[in-house]
Amino acid sequence: MRRGSEEATSVKRRMAEDGRDESVAADDDSQHTAEDGRNGLNNTMVEESPTLLRRMEICVAEAEKRSGKNAVNMQETFTVYLIETRPMDALAEGRNPAPDSLWRRYSEFELLRNYLLVSFPYIVVPPLPEKRAEFVWHKLSADNMDPDFVERRRVGLENFLLRVASHPVLSNDKILHHFLTEEHSWKEVVYETGFQAKADSRLKALSATFRVRNPDKRFMDMKHYSDELQSHTSQLLRARARVADRLYGVYKVHGNYGRVFSEWSAIEREMGDGLQSAGHHMDAYAASIDDILEEEEHYADQLKEYLFYAEALRAVCRKHELTQFELEMATQDLISKKQQHEELSTGIVRTFSFKGMTNKLFGQEAPEQREARLKLLEELIEEGEEAVKDKTVECEEHVEKAWVDVQRFKEQKDKDLREALINYAVMQVSMCKKGIQMWSNAKECFLKM
């Protein structure tokens, strides 16, 4: 319980810094551009890590509204985002070539992510920014076309790309490359991989979750943890939205002081100047909340990223449950086939079987039939053994690779959340200082009254 809330509070820190930079993911080995306000240390780390990001600078530069016909041939408006890429070596050499660019809409990002989810079920795949605005407080609109929302989504999409491109496994994927470089043929290429067929059915996965007998304890703990992370972050986000609403109210009402003091100063001789200037400070105070809450929104976004990451983590755990369950089923199946074989060959019935019953009732079958069935069973047993072998391999591989990625994810998360919390605190400090400044100014004005 405590661990979850610790994570959640440290997220707030990281949010501040990221929000300020605007350029996104504080993943240390993912950091990117020359424009990055932070130090050259990040650049060297980029070069060292064997990821796409080393070779290519990526950013989501702009967003635009477009109209077009959708799948059911109806006119719709949607937003597209400009992805720009530049080769890293050119930048290192000091050249400044024009970036290659293409436009993508949100649904294409979703397609890419679904592909990655299916193709790399042992990886905690970075999440996309939310599809619809949630945890809104009254000032924020829930409209997907709202420019603030679009801007925050642009930042989130860039973050997603940077995380994927800096991932040791994901960054080498061809489809990802295509996504970044081929605007028009990409969709066909993705569909051709046939990934949709490989996707596990939800029903299968759900049934596995309930019926699996011996899942790896570490993954069960991980699942438990991801549940807690999710619940804590969503509580935090909800509470934050309500608090933001109230704080907005408090600040804005002070703006009324501005108006009233101004009117009042008109009828006063000695107090006039003091009241008037105090009124201006009250107006400034009321206006300051807009910037503060906008910045806070960035941190909320970072918290949301980890909310969605929890889902990705859970997906990896579910995949484990599935592979484990399939292994158990295959093993079970093999055992039962072997038993049947034994019964048939020795005539000793160990367990109740329908065949045994019918034999008793209708007499034993003819020897040829028995031979045929034994043969069949032997083949099935062979297949079964292959299946068990394959499933074991699949399961073990998944466990191995997944565990590696989960460790990587944990490290990244701890770092990110810690940074976010620090940066959030920095923002709070600045907000307090501003408050002190404003009220001290107001004091000065009152003194002159």
Partner 1 sequence: MSFSLEVLGSRLTWTWRRRTTWRSTARTPPSQTGGPSSPSSPSSMMNQYREEEEEELFITVDHPESHVTAIETFITYRVVTKTSRSDFDCSEFEVRRRYQDFLWLRSTLEERHPTLIVHPLPEKFVMKGMVERFNDDFIETRRRALQRFLDKIRDHPLLRGSPSLNVFLTAQDLAPHRKQTLSLLSRWGGTVKMLSQSLRGVRSRPEEFSLMQDYVEQLSSKICSVDKVSQRIVREQREYVEELQQYSAPYKTQSCTRHLSSTLIPVLHDYLLCADTLKAVMKRRDNIQAEYESKREAMERRGDQEGEEEEEEEVQALQEKVEVCNSSLQEDWSRWRSSMRTDLKTALLSTAENNVQHYEKCLAVWETFLLSQREEGSEQKEEDVP
Query: Which residues lie near partner 1 (CB under 8 A)?
Result: 9, 13, 236, 239-240, 242-243, 245-247, 249-250, 253-254, 256-257, 260-261, 263-264, 267, 270-271, 274, 278, 418, 421-422, 425-426, 428-429, 432-433, 435-436, 439-440, 442-443, 446-447, 449
Closest distance between partner 1 and the C-beta of residue 449, in Å?
4
Place of tokens 């949301």: 304
Rank residues 104 and 254 by Cβ distance to partner 1 and give the closer one: 254
Closest distance between partner 1 and the C-beta of residue 412, in Å?
16
- How many whole angstroms separate alpha carbon 363 and alpha carbon 366? 9
Which amino acid type is present at position 60?
V
Tokens describing residue 349: 């019935």
Rank residues 220 and 449 by Cβ distance to partner 1 and give the closer one: 449
Rank residues 117 and 421 by Cβ distance to partner 1 and give the closer one: 421
Closest distance between partner 1 and the C-beta of residue 146, in Å?
24
Closest distance between partner 1 and the C-beta of residue 285, in Å?
9
- How many whole angstroms separate alpha carbon 437 and alpha carbon 423? 21
Rank residues 70 and 256 by Cβ distance to partner 1 and give the closer one: 256
Closest distance between partner 1 and the C-beta of residue 187, in Å?
44
390: Cβ contacts below 8 Å, ≥ 6 apart: none
Residue 94 neighbours by CB distance under 10 Å: 6
| Contact of 124 with 403, CB cutoff 8 Å | no
| Contact of 154 with 63, CB cutoff 8 Å | yes
Rank residues 111 and 421 by Cβ distance to partner 1 and give the closer one: 421
150: Cβ contacts below 8 Å, ≥ 6 apart: 63, 79, 144
- How many whole angstroms separate alpha carbon 219 and alpha carbon 322? 12
Closest distance between partner 1 and the C-beta of residue 135, in Å?
13
Closest distance between partner 1 and the C-beta of residue 21, in Å?
18
- Sign of the CA dihedral running 124, 128, 134, 140: positive
187 CB-side CA count, 13 A: 8
| Contact of 68 with 51, CB cutoff 8 Å | no
> Residues in the chain, how many?
449
Rank residues 226 and 412 by Cβ distance to partner 1 and give the closer one: 412
Rank residues 9 and 302 by Cβ distance to partner 1 and give the closer one: 9
Tokens describing residue 321: 């449950």
Closest distance between partner 1 and the C-beta of residue 82, in Å?
36
φ/ψ of 134, rounded to 5, equals -120, 170
Rank residues 413 and 418 by Cβ distance to partner 1 and give the closer one: 418
